[in-house]
Amino acid sequence: MRSSPLIFTSGAAQRSADLRLAWLDAADDVREAYLAWRDAERAERDAAFTVYQAALDREEAAARTLQLELSGCAPRV
C-alpha cells in the first residue's frame, strides 16, 4: 500500500491525491489477483478468478471516483 508524503496541500488537492493513491493501490491489487489466478492450480482457479473479479470491480470503482473528482462532479461528503 502506498502512502502520501507529508506535504501541505489544500483539502481538495489532498482529496484528489488520496483518491489517486486509492486507485493505484486498487490497480496493484488487480495485477496481484490476476497473477494469482493465472498461476493457480486447477482446484483453486475458480476461487482465484472470483478474487480477481472483485479486485477489478474495486479498481473500476476507484477509477470512476477519481474521474468524477478530477472533473469536478464528485459529491462532497
Residue 3 φ then ψ, to 5° = -135, 145
pTM of this structure: 0.78
Task: Report the C-alpha gap between 66 and 64 in whole angstroms.
Answer: 5
Task: Report the C-alpha gap between 14 and 25 in whole angstroms.
Answer: 16
Q: What is the residue-level pLDDT of the chain in tens, covering all 77 positions?
A: 555 555 555 788 899 999 999 999 999 999 999 999 999 999 999 999 999 999 999 999 999 999 999 998 866 65
Grid cell for residue 63: 477509477
Question: Do 23 and 62 meet the contact criterion of CB atoms below 8 Å apart?
Answer: yes
